[in-house]
Structure 1
Amino acid sequence: MMLGFCLAAGILFAALFLLYFYKYRKLSGQLTELENQLDESLKKGGEDSILVYSDEPAIRQLAARVNRLLEEQGSLTARTRMQEERERRMLVNISHDLKTPLTVVYGYAEMLLAPEQNLTPAVRTKVEKIYAKTRDVLDMLLLFFDLAKMESGELQLDRTQIDVCEICRSELAGYYEMLQDADFVVEASIPEEELFLEGDAQAMKRILGNLIQNAIRYGADGRYLGVSVGKEGSGLAIRVTDRGKGIVEENQDKIFERLTTLEDSRNKKYQGSGLGLTITKRLTEAMGGSIRVKSRPYRETVFTLLFPQDGQM
């Protein structure tokens, strides 16, 4: 009798074990399915809802809560996009409204500086300041226009074979007098051979110009500029180096954000618009490349551009 009882208990235990094991496998599979769908939805920005069929109340409740969170995230994402679009339009509208009167002021200042006006030295100095500051504001407005075009996808780039070495030499030569006046030591490591990539020549000139200007403005303490070009892996690497005050590590990712100027890590004698490096990053990425910065304060700050040479953009 005892043997029969033990046998029955064993069978009951085995049955319960199989039942719970089946239930566990079933729940595990449903949770895995929920997790997979959640991953796919997040990749799409949380636009898709989670659909998990289950007779377990806890699973259904979890799926419902996840869907509510995805819905809230979707609404937040949509509001963020709308806000960014409103900001872009506002910047464009303000820039457009300011451009016309500033252009008039700039034109009159230029006329007053003509030799035939015979201005006194004191008056000429004041007009020159008006002329220079007006030019600065107009340049900033053009930056706003360009950034708005890039962020809205309206900027169209050419796809032609460009010689990176020739563009680097040309851009560096364009800043020769400025570098000489600032007593910079310039080291250029640019091969004599032609190194081509598929991209937009004007965009590449602007990228390099922005980085050279950045080095002159914020690396003035070190009075050093280095420009190098070379093959790296299957692509090309361009590096622009200065030895100024530099950027502390926690701020190195922030410098590519719009309207960011890090006065604590840069030369306070110079004030930038906070748009130059943002535009540089957007143009680099539009040509299929990437940009990164590595800085050791008071020793070396290096901006590295990496571009593929396989014709992919």
Structure 2
Amino acid sequence: MDKKLEELEDEGALRTDELRTANRILKAQLEMLKEQSELINLAYDAIIVQDISGTIMGWNVGAEKVYGWKEEEVLGKHTHELLKTKFPETDKAILDVVLREGKWEGELLHTRRDGREIVVASRWVLQKDKLGNPVSIIKINRDITEKKKLEEKVASYTRELENRVAERTRELEHVVSEVAMDAAKNKAIFESIGDGVIVVNEEGKIVRINPRGEEMMGVKAIDLIGQPYTKIALEMENGESVPEAERPLYNTLSQKKTVLSQSTYYLVRKDKTRFPVAMISTPIEIEGRIIGAIDAFRDITREKEIDRAKSEFISIASHQLRTPLTTLSWYTESLLSGREKLTPRQSEYLTEIKGATARLLELVASLLNISRIELGTFSLESKVIDVVKICREIQADMKTTIKKKKLKIRESFPKDLPVMKLDMDLVRVVFQNLFSNAVKYTPKNGFIYIGIERVKNNLIIKMQDSGCGIPKNDQKNMFNKFFRAENSKILDPNGNGLGLYITKTIVEYAKGKIWFESEENKGTTFFVDLPTIERRKKPRN
């Protein structure tokens, strides 16, 4: 009996030790679970613990914030019935994956307590006991609703951007195609132009020459590309080089405007021969900035030959006309001198004949001067002359008309004005044309002012009248050959439009300048600045 009792006591003691050990383990596990629970509650994600059937066993603070229910409200309820879960596939299929692989990840649609539907990124992890039997599933859900919205916006913007890029690409391809077509057209036009063309950049360096330009100048474009345009020799009619400041390209680049050559220039070929050209330069402008210029030049050899032949014909015809006209004028003046008794009608007819003959002689003289200028036979010969004397001789020739119109002539001649070395014919032509115009277009009782002075070595002439003036629209053409202002045609129908052209041509030939100021119905003032000269040679052909 005692032995049995001892055995029972030993067994009781063993059981007691086992219970104590189990109690310590349980306490440790409870402490660990408590720590895990606190850690779970610190998580921002919703963490739900459910059994295999889906009943909620755990619900952290993150789940309360995501879904709106407190833990005590959801324990014991079915997870997917509570959250109205929408699966990408069946619930059973997902559970099979978890049981087989121990985990699953994907996106689910859940409904919050307030009825708002949210998207969650869900991760399921299977929990097993010591024997390996499934006991629970931990679900970690993160609200990605805003992220999904943002991703959708980004995707939408991306699609829109891609569509715009595709559309813009199509437009650019179309533009590129059109640009290529235009470039091909422009190249064909550039290479087929019958005139020579030189293209320079804003620095005045040659960037392109068309085939016709190469042919005309006897050069290859490659030899001039990158060189300044001044490498192309350009001469005046007398063989002197054209100063850079007078070249059309220089003025186009500096003044930013189209410039047409006013004089005949000669391009010098590579073999030193030359030919006359008409030139026009046009700026290349982009958004208000000049990036270069185009200089087009045309060989006018044929035109010069025609002009020369015409001038020769005019010269010959004028010479032939001058003798009979002079004879006619002399006989008419003799008949009107009073030595012959004439009836009033005969006197009237002879007076008309005298006037017409005088006009014809004036025209012949003008034509002869023009032919000399254009043929290059016009020359200037310096001679010491009395300018005032020549001026008064011109006035004396027209005293009858001056007296008839009662014109007042005012002079301003310095008493100490010295004699000057000038071409007498040149000075006479200037005074004759300017003074006769002033007399012709000044009304009765008007005035004419003549000023002469010497400034350094230059003769300055000022011719002012109170006549009809020059209309503003006509002023730019006043020095053109055969041009007459509209109001002058009414006052003098018999004018020929050559006087000012001749005056300007010979003044500029003598390196002088002529210009005017005028206002219609108030009068006109002409100014001439004429340097003293040495004998000027005839220009070479």
- Give your verdict on TM over 0.5: yes
Report the 3-state secondary structure (helix = DSSP H, G, I; strand = E; otherwise coil) of the residue aligned with 2:267: coil
Indicate whether 1:213 and 2:404 are aligned: no
Q: Give the distance between the partners of 1:34 and 1:221, measured in 2 at CA.
A: 65
> 155-164 vs 204-213, which deviates more?
155-164
Percent identical among aligned pairs is 22
Distance 2:534 2:330 in 1: 44
Output the CA distance in 1 between the equivalents of 2:337 and 2:522: 45
User: Which amino acid counterpart does residue 47 of structure 1 have in structure 2?
Assistant: L
Q: Which amino acid in the other structure matches residue 189 of structure 1?
A: S
1:34 aligns with 2:210: no
Q: Corresponding residue for 2:234?
A: 43
Report the CA distance between 1:136 and its aligned residue. Answer: 2.0
The verdict on how the C-alpha distance between 1:40 and 1:162 changes in structure 2, with shifts beyond 3 A counting, is farther
Work out whether 1:200 is the aligned partner of 2:423.
yes
Spell out the pairing of 1:236-251 with structure 2 (5 A cutoff): 236-251=459-474
Structure 2: how far apart are the matches of 1:138 and 1:118?
27
Q: 1:306 deviation in Å?
A: 0.5
Q: Give the AA of the match of 1:307.
A: L
Give the TM-score of the pair, scaled to structure 1.
0.70
Change (3 A) 1:222 1:289: farther
How far did 1:289 drift? 1.8
Deviates more, 1:243-252 or 1:28-37: 28-37
CA contact (8 A) 2:510 2:531 kept: no
Q: CA deviation at 1:272?
A: 1.6
Contact (CA 8 Å) 2:380, 2:535: kept in 1 or not?
no
Say if 1:228 and 1:107 are closer, same or farther in 2 by CA, change over 3 A.
closer
Structure with the greater alpha carbon radius of gyration: 2
User: 2:332 aligned with 1:141, yes or no?
Assistant: no
Q: 90, 94, 106: which is aligned to 2:313?
A: 90
Contact 2:458–2:532 (Cα < 8 Å) also in 1 = yes
- Distance of 2:532 and 2:320 partners within structure 1: 42
* Aligned partner (choices 255, 263, 266) of residue 488 of structure 2: 266
How many residues are matched? 265
Equivalent AA in structure 1 for residue 472 of structure 2: E
| Aligned positions of 1:55-94 closer than 5 A | 70=297, 73-74=298-299, 77-94=300-317
- Give the 3-state SS of the residue equivalent to 2:449 in structure 1: strand
Q: Name the aligned partner's letter for residue 269 of structure 1.
A: L
Distance in 1 (alpha carbons) for counterparts of 2:457 and 2:267: 37
Q: Partner residue of 2:448?
A: 225
Deviation at 1:34, TM superposition (A): 3.2
Q: Does the Cα contact within 8 Å between 2:512 and 2:528 map onto a contact in 1?
A: yes
Q: 1:213 deviation in Å?
A: 0.5
Of 381, 391, 397, the residue aligned with 1:158 is 381
The answer for the alignment partner of 1:131 in structure 2 is 354
The amino acid of 1:31's aligned partner reads: V
Q: Which residue of 2 aligns with 1:6?
A: none
State the partner residue of 2:499: 276
SS of the equivalent of 2:428 reads helix
Give the corresponding residue for 1:294.
517
Provide closer, same or farther for how the CA distance between residues 46 and 238 of structure 1 changes in structure 2, counting only shifts above 3 A: closer
Please state whether the residue corresponding to 1:252 is helix, strand or coil: helix
**Maintained 8 Å contact 1:222/1:245:** no
Match of 1:303 in 2: 526
Contact 2:511 2:531 in 1 (8 A): yes
Unaligned runs of 5+ in 1: 1-27, 51-65
What is the TM-score with the length of structure 2 in the denominator?
Answer: 0.43
Shift of 1:129: 1.6
Gaps of 5+ in 2: 1-203, 209-223, 236-264, 271-293, 537-541
Change (3 A) 1:253 1:199: farther
> How far, CA to CA, are the matches of 2:535 and 2:437 in structure 1?
28
Which structure is richer in relative contact order (CA contacts within 8 A, separation 6 or more)?
Answer: 1
- Judge conservation of contact 2:308–2:374 (CA < 8 Å) in 1: no
Alpha-carbon distance in 2 for matches of 1:101, 1:170:
26
- Asked if the contact 1:163–1:194 (Cα under 8 Å) also holds between the matched residues in 2, the reply is no
C-alpha offsets along residues 243-298 of structure 1, whole Å, 9 cap, x if unaligned? Answer: 21211234224222222222x14262323222222222233234332211121222
Where 1:268 maps in the other structure, the secondary structure is helix
Higher relative strand content: 2
